[in-house]
Structure 1
């Protein structure tokens, strides 16, 4: 009878053990070790903050903690607990990070919380290092700046569907009460429910009620700046003072977009003053006079921004004559009349132009009203000299 098991010898065990020990590292880890010197990317301020915040030596080095979190992003691991599991079962990954033991979950959490500003410094240092690389890869695409707003959904109770459903249930109950009393014909249940939702999360005031991705939710708003290669250049969590009580959710989003562009680009320019760009690409949310003036006049950048349909008029398109003066949208042969400059707080200065026909009609109305005044004051001897007579009354 043939044996079902093979007898292992010490020689076989040695060969298998040798193969296990000398197993080639994953290609990714080899590339990382050969081409990346993580120490050169860490700002000196990061070292000072990390090693001076305690009075005793750290259990884990700064490079090891940073590498572990970088590998978490590389492998698209959603949670720290999964990263810890990978570190526990992979000796190659532990060795690449520089760990002799696996840190606790709370140590990673405290690291990201306590050293947020230092991580931000490291990010912008890498932006400076990678800018020449982007320019070498494609000079044209690296000269294009792209910005867009986004939001990071918070893990808070307000984002749980049950939270909104409880408010919606109360609104439905109120609607029934109003209906029983013969009231509330125009009562909108969903609008009432949204109006009762808190403006900020109870766990974190920075996580606010926003309209993003086609629905309401509690997000941490941010503005992402990239070049045309798709390489991130700046991440800004600027939050303007805004009124949430607007006509529609889309109007709220456009208002936020238009107000954030200038402060975000100012922060970006202050961190990287040597960077220069030729073009700016943005969606219709950035269609505002202040943004155009800032990009063209202050930064020398050509803006390429979609026109916001909410800023358009139902009138036909206005033309221009050879001198650049706008013409009447209904009759391009008529030149518009300049009517001064409009200056409002918080808005860009605007030039006012009146339709020549409307100006003539207003002049006619003025003459007729003056005639009525002359008639009622018994001064009808010179009805055609109305203006001079009225001013003397």
Structure 2
């Protein structure tokens, strides 16, 4: 008698977890408690900074904030206000996070603002932890790198569609007798390079539309696991003066292509320099690739 095997996938596992969360909440959190333990991944420097900042015991544990924010992303909860509502309504969720009472919105905001470097350090540590796992799953795919750019649209007045649309309508009316003039490209060239209220909100052309966003790059391996992220902010550009800062043309597509190509080498350089102590676990092919990328790209 032949045995039928079924190839499971990450998508199916994630769908089953979401179904369990809606239909059997106690079993879902029991499963999380058995298989998800954040404590070993939290750097000691993070512990010291979190508990030392007040000089007294904290009512809310560090692992509780991290668990709540991770579950917020897993279940696509869009705002902290909605996350707090879930915490208030679901006792199992509060118990899993270790909250005797629900933190208010300013506490979540201060946590993310005050401990941002330590959160970044924690996720960099996760990269080191998951690299041997990726190598064991598929060494060839684990050595691949995929580079992509995107941006986080910020809450500034320039991102209000009415602002840009009104500007384009005025240009269309002014140049209505000149069909060779493209009002969209002209609007791109005349709009300010950054938002007035937030210098980090740069004018970008993302997914076919104008916006003011904080641009970032992401590196993933062939398995789709994130290896590195970098925000292309003013600090990054000061560290890499070879990158263009100003717009070079009246074409948003051209500027996007130039910006993406110019950021590739600096991002890869920072990534490989940042994981040098961990390179020893990679194959010789990858070690030979690194100096070529840094010097010959």
CA shift, 1:47, in A, is: 1.3
Q: Give the structure 2 partner of residue 298 of structure 1.
A: 291
Question: Mean alpha-carbon deviation: is it higher for 161-170 or for 36-45?
Answer: 161-170
Q: Is the radius of gyration larger for structure 1 or structure 2? A: 1
- Asked if the contact 2:205–2:252 (Cα under 8 Å) also holds between the matched residues in 1, the reply is yes
Of the candidates 207, 211, 219, which is equivalent to residue 213 of structure 1?
207
Q: Does 1:133 align with 2:133?
A: yes
Q: 2:220 aligns with which of 205, 226, 232?
A: 226
SS for the counterpart of 1:225 is strand
Deviation per CA, 1:275-294, whole angstroms, max 9, x where unpaired? 347889xxxxxxxxxxxxxx
Query: 2:154 is matched with which residue?
Result: 154
CA RMSD of aligned residues (A): 2.8
Tell me, which stretches of 5 or more residues in structure 1 are unaligned? 1-23, 281-294, 302-347, 350-393
Alignment of 1:93-112 (within 5 A): 93-112=93-112
Checking the alignment, whether the CA contact within 8 Å between 1:144 and 1:278 is kept in structure 2 is: no
| 1-structure distance, mates of 2:271, 2:87 | 36
Match of 1:327 in 2: none
CA contact 1:145–1:225 (8 Å) conserved in 2: yes
Take 2:179 and 2:34, find their aligned partners in 1: how far apart are those partners? 71
Q: Does 1:238 align with 2:232?
A: yes
Contact 1:142/1:227 (8 A) holds in 2: yes
String of CA shifts for 1:226-283, please: whole Å, max 9, x gaps.
1111011111113443331315222211211211112111221222112347889xxx
Q: Name the TM-score, length of structure 2 as normaliser.
A: 0.79
- Length, aligned pairs only: 262
- Compute the TM-score of the two structures, normalised by the length of structure 1: 0.61
Equivalents in 2 of 1:27, 1:279: separation in Å? 45
| C-alpha spacing 1:102/1:237, structure 2 compared with 1 (3 Å) | same
Which structure is higher in helix share? 2
- Per chain length, whose mean CA-contact separation is higher, i.e. which structure has more relative contact order (CA < 8 Å, sep 6+)? 2
In structure 2, the partner of 1:324 is none
The aligned counterpart of 2:168 is 168
Q: Residue 234 of structure 1 aligns to a residue in which SS?
A: strand
Alignment pair present for 1:258 and 2:252: no
For residues 1-393 of structure 1, what are the structure 2 equivalents within 5 Å? 26-175=26-175, 187-239=181-233, 240-273=243-276, 274-275=278-279, 276=282, 298-299=291-292
CA distance in 1, matches of 2:170, 2:283: 53
Q: 1:139 to 1:26 in 2, by over 3 A?
A: farther
Q: Give the 3-state SS of the residue equivalent to 1:144 in structure 2.
A: coil
How far apart are 1:56 and its partner, in Å?
Answer: 3.5
